[in-house]
Amino acid sequence: MSSLDWIVLVTTLVSIVAYGLYRSRGSNTVDRYLLAGKSMPWYAMALSIMATQASAITFISTTGQSYVDGMRFVQFYFGLPLAMVILCATVVPVFHHTRVYTAYEYLEKRFDAKTRVLASIVFLCQRGLSAGLTIYAPALVLSVILGWPERATTAMMGATVVTYTVLGGIKAVTWSDVQQMAIIFVGLVISLVTVILLLPASVSFGDAVYLAGAAGRLNAVTTHFDWNDRFNIWSGLIGGTFLFLSYFGCDQSQVQRYLTGKSIAQSRLSLLFNAVAKIPMQFFILFIGAMVFVFYLFVQPPVLFQRIELKRIAGLSEFQPMSEQYQRAFEHRKQAALDLVEAHRAGNTPAENRQKAEYRAAQKELDAVRSNAAQLVESTGGEKGFSDTNYIFLSFVTRYLPSGIVGLVIAVIFAATMSASSGEINSLATVTVIDIYQRHIKRHQSDRHYLLASRWFTLFWGVYAVVFAGWAKRLGSLIVAVNKVGSLFYGSLLGCFVLAFLFPKVRGTAVFCGMLAGEAAIFATAWFTDVSWLWYNVIGCAVVVAVALGITFGAPGTTSALPDTQPQE
Amino acid sequence: MPHTRDVPDEAPPFLRTWRRVYTATLIYLALIIFVCYLFTRFYR
């Protein structure tokens, strides 16, 4: 990185912390520290919700996904507007009217204390695991691309996040999220414009879009149904709806954002903004990946974008013929692409069809070499299931974008990491204080006591996230499994809330048993089948509801709350 | 510890009722899926 890049990066990080702390003045009660005194406008909540959901790996991975597999990942978000409408009509007013700090506090009001504790523990396990990975994953990519030590990157991002999250509470988190989203938008627009400007003079923007489409990179909708396929319109609409209902309705990291609203209408507007803006935003990010693909039609990309693994296998005898074949395949594809554009411009349909077949065959040849190289990495001691998707976009940025823009894009990665991480740390601390500490450990203490406890628990979860991120490397390929951890827990949480809202006769013990059965069903599905993780939420939710209803109507004697349940203050 | 304060429920700033806002959101979803479908077909 050049000096200008460093200036852009450091200025951005300092301004994020300063702005967040400036806007968080007066967070001196628990209500203000954890819920911003219910004073936030809809646009701040909306951008904070968006920023919390979009981690750095979302931006890095999504563009790479589009480069490799096209734009069909956008279908994952088709369930989002449906989920938002359901939540606005049901959950949002109930959470506000019951005057809760956390989603799980509501479960005690509706069921009993043990259901609240179980849901809180499920949340702490799931979010606690992902908190470290949110910081670790981009640190790993930056270390490979820029050669920065992972621990230094992790510590730098962690220290920045912990500082403003501990000092400023949710107000600092929300307002810094707003600023981070603005940086992310600017960075992405500049990235797309730069990619298009870097295309050869003989290739227009229209030609670039045409070439991306001809290579199957603009496949935004696939109507084919397959249980094992993560991204098609059906998994997006059904699985996606359940996932987003769980995420925005039962995950405190999101619930806490819209509980800060100064009115129910403001909270609803913040969610509906996401319902409207998220799909175009993801489409835009994926489109950047498709344009990077077109850029690499004319500039030879490396065989693998993960340079450390590439360097390792480059010395092997098996790699030499692969490299030569890759060079030939690239030249073949480049020529085929130029000929295809020529035929398309001339309106010569038979020639266009012929060239298209040629172009696709060359692409297949190139993909085959990349696949063989990935297998070589695996077979010579590399990571199992090796993939370089997460390295494609940043590798492009650091090699071809001009000085200053590189710093801005790295700042985008930092901003996205910090916004996702601060939301997680803040919500973990809130659940620990409200649902565990204040409810079961230290009752009837002063507001000042709980404010201090909130700050200490925020610090604890921040340090935990950084330490876990430093340790995450030892997980190796397990990281992929841990990344799916959200879907392992969301389904049963959602089932619990569905019962709370839709089935007034169901009581705590039935829900408690249902949640345990739901978790067992999800783990069994994950362990014994190839069903895509997007469906875990549907399966978990269905099992929780079915078991709880079975207990309620099959054995009515077990449906009352246990006698040890204490009413909450 | 005190409860959080209750907040008012208000009409939406546009379309008068929330039911209409929700309907508009769902129509928007249908439209955007249709546009994505056309986009895919056109550039296939």
Are residue A356 and residue A414 in the same domain, yes or no? Answer: no
Can you give the pLDDT at residue A387? 83
Does any domain span residue A516? no
Rounded Cα distance between A548 and A134, Å, is 34
| Spans of chain A, pLDDT less than 70 | 473-484, 556-569
Q: Which residues in chain A are closer than 8 Å to B20, comparing Cβ atoms?
A: none
Does any domain span residue A498? no
Residue by residue, DSSP assigns A3-33 as HHHHHHHHHHHHHHHHHHHHHTTT--SHHHH
Rounded Cα distance between A497 and A119, Å, is 10
Q: Given A263, A280, A569, which is nearest B10 (Cβ)?
A: A263
Running DSSP on this structure, what letter comes out for residue A433?
Answer: I
Which residues touch A345 (CB under 8 Å, ≥6 apart)? A207
Are residue A56 and residue A194 in the same domain, yes or no? Answer: yes
Distance from chain centroid for Cα A29 = 31
Last residue of a domain, one of A363, A385, A407: A385
Side-chain half-sphere CA neighbours of A202 within 13 A: 11
Last residue of a domain, one of A410, A444, A474: A474
Buried b (16+ CB within 10 A) or exposed e, A85-99: bbbbebbbbbbbeeb
Can you give the pLDDT at residue A563? 37
Rounded Cα distance between A272 and A185, Å, is 19
Chain B positions contacting chain A at CB under 8 Å are 1-13, 18, 21-22, 25-26, 28-29, 32-33, 36-37, 39-40, 42-44
Can you give the pLDDT at residue A473? 65
Q: What is the largest CA-CA distance in chain A?
A: 81
Does any domain span residue A451? yes
Can you give the pLDDT at residue A308? 86
Are residue A80 and residue A143 in the same domain, yes or no? Answer: yes
Check B33 against A219: CB less than 8 A apart. Answer: no
CB A454 within 8 A of CB A433: yes
Check A99 against B43: CB less than 8 A apart. Answer: no
Can you give the pLDDT at residue A565? 38
Does any domain span residue A177? yes
Are residue A139 and residue A270 in the same domain, yes or no? Answer: yes
Does any domain span residue A404? yes
Q: How many domains does chain A have?
A: 2
Q: Identify the CA nearest to A178 among candidates A304, A65, A24.
A: A24
Taking CA atoms, what residue in A is nearest to B3? A99
Check A31 against B2: CB less than 8 A apart. Answer: yes
Last residue of a domain, one of A385, A415, A443: A385
Are residue A410 and residue A322 in the same domain, yes or no? Answer: no
Taking CA atoms, what residue in A is nearest to B43? A213
Residue A344: give the domain boundaries. Answer: 308-385
Can you give the pLDDT at residue A543? 96
Q: H or E stretch including A217? A: none
Are residue A130 and residue A254 in the same domain, yes or no? Answer: yes
CB A160 within 8 A of CB A166: no
pLDDT tens by residue, A414-462: 888 888 899 899 999 999 999 999 999 988 899 999 999 999 999 999 9
Are residue A190 and residue A228 in the same domain, yes or no? Answer: yes
Can you give the pLDDT at residue A428? 95
Are residue A217 and residue A76 in the same domain, yes or no? Answer: yes
Are residue A132 and residue A261 in the same domain, yes or no? Answer: yes
Question: How many Å lie between the alpha carbon of A352 and the closest alpha carbon of chain B?
Answer: 13
- Is the model more confident about B4 or about A80? A80
Does any domain span residue A137? yes
Are residue A363 and residue A464 in the same domain, yes or no? Answer: no
Q: Which two tokens stand for residue A491?
A: 């389904």
CB A540 within 8 A of CB A519: yes
Are residue A271 and residue A367 in the same domain, yes or no? Answer: no
Does any domain span residue A116? yes
ipTM value, please give it.
0.93
CB A12 within 8 A of CB A415: yes
Check B12 against A269: CB less than 8 A apart. Answer: yes
Burial class (CB in 10 A: 0-12, 13-18, 19+), B30: exposed
Q: What is the largest CA-CA distance in chain B?
A: 60
Are residue A368 and residue A235 in the same domain, yes or no? Answer: no
Can you give the pLDDT at residue A483? 53
